[in-house]
């Protein structure tokens, strides 16, 4: 919990330095994360990380996959040290399981077997890739090095058309806690949501050009998105609330072909179902939809068309 608050303070200060109008004199708390009390107003700010979602990685959260791989590397390094192996620099490229469940112990044991069998061939380096390795590994590099370092890269990314859906779902998930936030603040206090994304591949979500023109329905007084990668922020604008029985939301964004699109999306408890949709332009397809799409509009050269799914 202490580490969590330290990270939230770093995010708050970085966003403030970037220009987000956050006042000084914050008080740490929970639900929301920070509270501000002045003669002019009362304010609560909740801080939430916007990481790459599981739908960009075959249903596995990239951050969880990164931690899973690190767990394997740490355990394998300890096993090799216990067997008396010298300090090594080991780089491991894992095969993407594409949603398949894996046992970290089996992967760790396979890696230890490979390193033990081949570290003496590192004069000063040894590498192997492709079919010469077990299916769970793409490439392994072993280097004799006094500074031991076991490392595995993280690959992947998020497309432009996926980002607005990810934002909508994250905002909708945080809105479920609004009643608790308001209960913990003085009557009439404002509530802001501060989203942030990091710089690593697993944590990074790039702020696209034109994001300040996107509109989402929400009940927060203000929503900001700060990116450590670009060292900049954008304020997310509010769209009219849609009067649906289920948690629907309308999003406006520019897809990869340059077409301005508006989509009505049903948020399935803030989670992504991974169904398929195609932009009206016919050029952009994404396996990335929360719930299901009710309708999609296309605006091109002043003309509108409706595509029912």
Position 205 pLDDT exceeds 70: yes
- Beta strand segments in the chain, E: 27-28, 34-37, 42-49, 88-94, 125-129, 137-144, 149-151, 190-197, 215-216, 222-227, 232-238, 248-254, 260-266, 276-278, 285-287, 293-300, 303-308
Average pLDDT over residues 35-57: 89
For residues 290 and 52, the model is more confident at 52
Under 8 Å between Cβ of 182 and 46 = no
Q: For residues 285 and 269, is the Cβ–Cβ distance under 8 A?
A: no
**Is residue 54 scored above 60 in pLDDT?**
yes
d(CA 73, CA 78): 9
pLDDT of residue 276: 36
Q: Would you call 152 helix, strand, or coil by DSSP?
A: coil
Whether the model clears a pTM of 0.85, i.e. scores above it, the answer is no
pLDDT for the residue 253 = 58
The whole-number average pLDDT for the span 2-7 is: 89
- The answer on pLDDT for 199 being more than 50 is yes
Per-residue pLDDT at 166: 83
Phi, psi (rounded to 5 degrees) for 107: -65, -40
Question: In the numeric block, which tokens belong to residue 106?
Answer: 């089996």
Higher local confidence (pLDDT), 93 or 297: 93
pLDDT over threshold 80, residue 266: no
| Weakest-pLDDT range from 49-63, 117-131, 190-204, 262-276 | 262-276
> What DSSP character marks residue 130?
G
Using omega within 30 degrees of 0 as the cis cutoff, is the peptide bond preceding 143 cis? no
């Amino acid at each position: 919990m202490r580490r969590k608050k330290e990270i939230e303070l770093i995010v708050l200060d970085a966003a403030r330095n970037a220009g987000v109008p956050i006042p000084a004199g914050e008080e740490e708390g929970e639900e929301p994360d920070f509270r501000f009390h002045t003669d002019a107003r009362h304010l609560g700010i909740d801080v939430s990380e916007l990481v790459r979602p599981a739908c960009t990685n075959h249903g596995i959260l990239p951050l969880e996959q990164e931690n899973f791989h690190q767990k394997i590397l740490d355990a394998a390094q300890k096993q090799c040290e216990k067997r008396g192996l010298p300090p090594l620099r080991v780089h491991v490229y894992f095969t993407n399981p594409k949603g398949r469940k894996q046992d970290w112990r089996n992967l760790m044991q396979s890696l230890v077997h490979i390193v033990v069998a081949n570290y003496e061939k590192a004069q000063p380096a040894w590498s192997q890739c492709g079919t010469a390795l077990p299916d769970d590994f793409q490439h392994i590099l072993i280097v004799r090095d006094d500074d031991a370092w076991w490392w595995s890269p993280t690959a992947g990314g998020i497309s432009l058309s996926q980002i607005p859906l990810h934002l909508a779902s994250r905002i909708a998930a945080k809105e479920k806690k609004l009643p608790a936030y308001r209960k913990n603040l003085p009557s009439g206090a404002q509530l802001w949501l501060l989203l942030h994304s990091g710089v690593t591949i697993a944590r990074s979500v790039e702020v696209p050009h034109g994001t300040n023109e996107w509109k989402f329905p929400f009940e927060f007084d203000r929503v900001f998105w700060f990116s450590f990668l670009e060292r900049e922020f954008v304020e997310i604008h509010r769209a009219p609330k849609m009067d649906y029985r289920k948690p629907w939301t309308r999003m406006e964004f520019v897809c990869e072909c340059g077409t301005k699109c508006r989509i009505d999306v049903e948020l399935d408890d803030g989670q992504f179902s991974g169904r398929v949709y195609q932009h009206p332009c016919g050029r952009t397809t994404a396996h990335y939809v929360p719930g299901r799409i009710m309708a999609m509009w296309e605006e091109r050269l002043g003309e509108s068309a409706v595509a029912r799914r």
